[in-house]
Structure 1
Amino acid sequence: MWEFAVQKDSSHAVLITGSTSGIGLAMAHCFGRAGYQVMLHGLADQDSAQALLAEFARYGSHNGFSDADLSTEEGCAQLVRDTREAVGNPSVLINNAGIQFTAPAHDFPAQKWQQILSINLSAGFFLSRDLLPAMRAANWGRIINIASVHGLVASEHKAAYCAAKHGLIGLTKVLALENADCNITANAICPGWVETPLIQPQIEAISREQQLDLEAARAQLVGAKQPMAKASRPEAIGELALYLCGDFASTITGASLPVDGGWTAQ
């Protein structure tokens, strides 16, 4: 765990898992710009982590980083300890970390099933469980679970991912009910296609196979699922998460909010 030694103030601290790239990193920048102390988490060596922290130092707040392994309960406990050491008790928890593996259910490896459920679902439970007491004592908190359209609908070859994301939405609803008396909200954001480096190889493959330019290939990939054949920007997820932490969202709780170009409206 690494951190910059400046004064701590956990009144506006956020822990974002899986925040070294993609949606998680975009969310971290949104919260950093808004004045939050940001606890970053993910896969990074020491040099990369220090560079990331230096990048966030421009926001003028205290930030930290941990590479704790979320596939185990102990790893989640380590992340909680690292977070408290770096920024205090966070008032906002964003469970974003996730992994993917695809195969037909009848061929799905047990190890991959367990790994996906551990990181995509169980980690969100363990972190919420361990951080909620401080939120309840402060009479304020926000838990935001980054689910997926696959928490609402299914796709072939994604048994573990869909099971985990459906479970994460169920967990969100329970947390919302149990903590409504303490000004704590729990919500799930359900992105469809998002413009991250992960989708670029799929776009390039369509472009090669069908001799399309990259924009046409992108529209074909996204439009196969979404009526609006346009991927969301990662920053859109970050701004929605930030809104859920604001005053006007104080009665939004237990919700599953699609950002999916109409995917789940079909």
Structure 2
Amino acid sequence: MRFLIPFLLLVSCAPTVGPGSGPDGTLRAAFSDAGVAWAAGGRACVARQPSFTPVCPRLPGVVAVAWHAGQAWAGVPGLASLVTLDGAPATVPVGRVTAMSAERVYREDGSAVDYAGAAAPGVRGRAAEALTGGDGEEYLLLGGRVVRVRDAATLPGQGFSSLNWRPGGVSGGTFREVGTETGSYRLTGTHLERVDAAGQVRARVPHGAGAVGRVGAWIVTVDTAGRVRVFGPDLGEQT
């Protein structure tokens, strides 16, 4: 994939963003400055920038993916382990994974470990999603509610199907989106939209269901078929 000359995006450096199950219940994706990783139907892939060429190792029944310290990891309950998706091969025994953030791995019983396999704080219950927010806190999506791991506090709102990164933390929602200091980018199921801080749609392009995040200066999406698309801040698609 060839790219235009890099430009300045009016947001801070891209976060590591790891949403869990998408609205269709099959797609999990995570984004970082290094690229995008995703899992759909038990198959996991990683695509690093600038080429965004997918690498899809043969792993059994992947349920979650995340980036940690520049490395893409997959959670494989059948192996009770984390496995690297590319680069130097590594496996970390962690138990039966259900969700992963940039800093922690959450197991089916709600307990958690870090990426070295050491015990870490968790929250009782099986998390649908996990995310390290823009404030550095750990958050889970449990029963349609957003829970902060540090004190098990439930944030306002309910009925959420997605956990979305924001510069000041996270937000629950029914759309996949990623926040910036000036608004957000969201997938509605029919379009990818750029929304300003007042909630007004400033740009939109046709796009089906999937996941969206930031990779460096780019807005990147991936769908369940593994199609990766790369956009500039005004939603001009890079080809």
Q: Do the two structures share a fold, i.e. TM-score over 0.5? A: no
Q: Whose helix proportion is higher, 1 or 2?
A: 1
Q: TM-score, normalised by structure 1?
A: 0.30
Q: Whose strand proportion is higher, 1 or 2?
A: 2
Answer 1 or 2: higher relative contact order, Cα 8 Å, separation at least 6: 1
Q: TM-score, normalised by structure 2?
A: 0.32
